[in-house]
């Protein structure tokens, strides 16, 4: 395992398993963990809960908060794991601006698998009918982004193991 400080952003559309995989990655590495959705302003949560997709104008303040959190972890000398949909390249660029070495684990799956997961989920503000808007917004990772893609059809343990292996942290 590398000793260099880094910040892993577990990304993907709603329902892909970001929180579960992120928590397990953080636990395996002994790093701090933050669930990005907890940093959404209430207005964003209310908007999504009523089935209205967020706009870039809605997302920018939230993304700045997350970038600041990455920066705070970096300044404190800690590596971290954060969950954030990170759907567009520009969003990922903003997260990288927080400071330090920021890497992405994209949890990717078919629409059918993701819709099934969203339909089975309870207690979350994100309605399943917004999945298509997130899939339409999602921009694939570019070759110059420090990232890996993990198939959500794999069981969680395998997703975590593969993430650690491909990131060189196993």
Q: Is residue 49 part of a domain?
A: yes
What is the mean pLDDT of the segment spanning 91-113? 94
> How distant is the alpha carbon of residue 46 from its chain centre?
20
HEC assignment per residue over 129-143:
HHHHHHHHHCCCCCC
Stretch (H or E) spanning 61: helix 56-75
123: tokens are 């207690």
**Percent of the chain residues topping a pLDDT of 90:** 68
Q: Is residue 135 part of a domain?
A: yes
Q: Is residue 17 part of a domain?
A: yes
Quote the pLDDT of residue 3: 63
Q: 109 with 15: CB under 8 angstroms?
A: no
Q: Is residue 76 part of a domain?
A: yes
Long-range pairs for 163-168: beta carbons < 8 A, 24 or more residues apart: 163/21, 163/25, 163/105, 164/25, 164/28, 164/29, 167/8, 167/103, 167/105, 168/1, 168/2
Which CATH number do you get for residue 76? 3.40.50.300
pLDDT 10s digits, 28-87: 999 999 999 999 999 988 888 887 878 899 999 999 999 999 999 999 999 999 999 999
Q: Is residue 116 part of a domain?
A: yes
Quote the pLDDT of residue 165: 97
Quote the pLDDT of residue 1: 41
The residue range of the domain holding 49 is 7-166
pLDDT 10s digits, 119-157: 655 554 455 567 788 888 899 999 999 999 999 999 999
Q: Is residue 12 part of a domain?
A: yes
pLDDT 10s digits, 82-93: 999 999 999 999
Give the neighbor-by-neighbor strand order of the sheet with 80-83. Answer: 32-35, 80-83, 7-11, 102-108, 147-151
Which of these ranges, 13-22, 97-106, 112-121, has the smallest mean pLDDT?
112-121
Residue 22 phi, psi (nearest 5): -60, -45
Q: Is residue 2 part of a domain?
A: no
Quote the pLDDT of residue 133: 81
Number of domains in the chain: 1
**Percent of the chain residues topping a pLDDT of 70:** 91
Exposed/middle/buried for 8, CB within 10 Å: 0-12, 13-18, 19+?
buried
Judge whether residue 160 has pLDDT over 90.
Answer: yes
């Amino acid at each position: 395992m590398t000793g260099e400080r880094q910040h892993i952003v577990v990304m993907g559309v709603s329902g892909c398993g970001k929180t579960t995989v992120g928590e397990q990655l953080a636990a395996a590495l002994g790093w701090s963990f933050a669930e990005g959705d907890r940093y959404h302003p209430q207005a964003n949560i209310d908007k999504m809960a009523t089935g209205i997709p967020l706009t870039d104008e809605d997302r920018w303040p939230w993304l700045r908060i997350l970038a600041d959190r990455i920066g705070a972890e970096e300044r404190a000398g800690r590596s971290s794991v954060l969950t954030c949909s990170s759907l567009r390249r520009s969003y990922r660029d903003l997260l990288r601006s927080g400071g330090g070495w920021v890497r992405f684990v994209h949890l990717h799956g078919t629409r059918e698998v993701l819709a099934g997961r969203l339909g089975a989920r309870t207690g979350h503000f994100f309605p399943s009918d917004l999945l298509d808007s997130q899939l339409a917004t999602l921009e694939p990772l570019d070759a110059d982004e420090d990232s890996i893609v993990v198939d959500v059809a794999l069981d969680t343990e395998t997703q975590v193991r593969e993430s650690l292996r491909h990131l060189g942290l196993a």
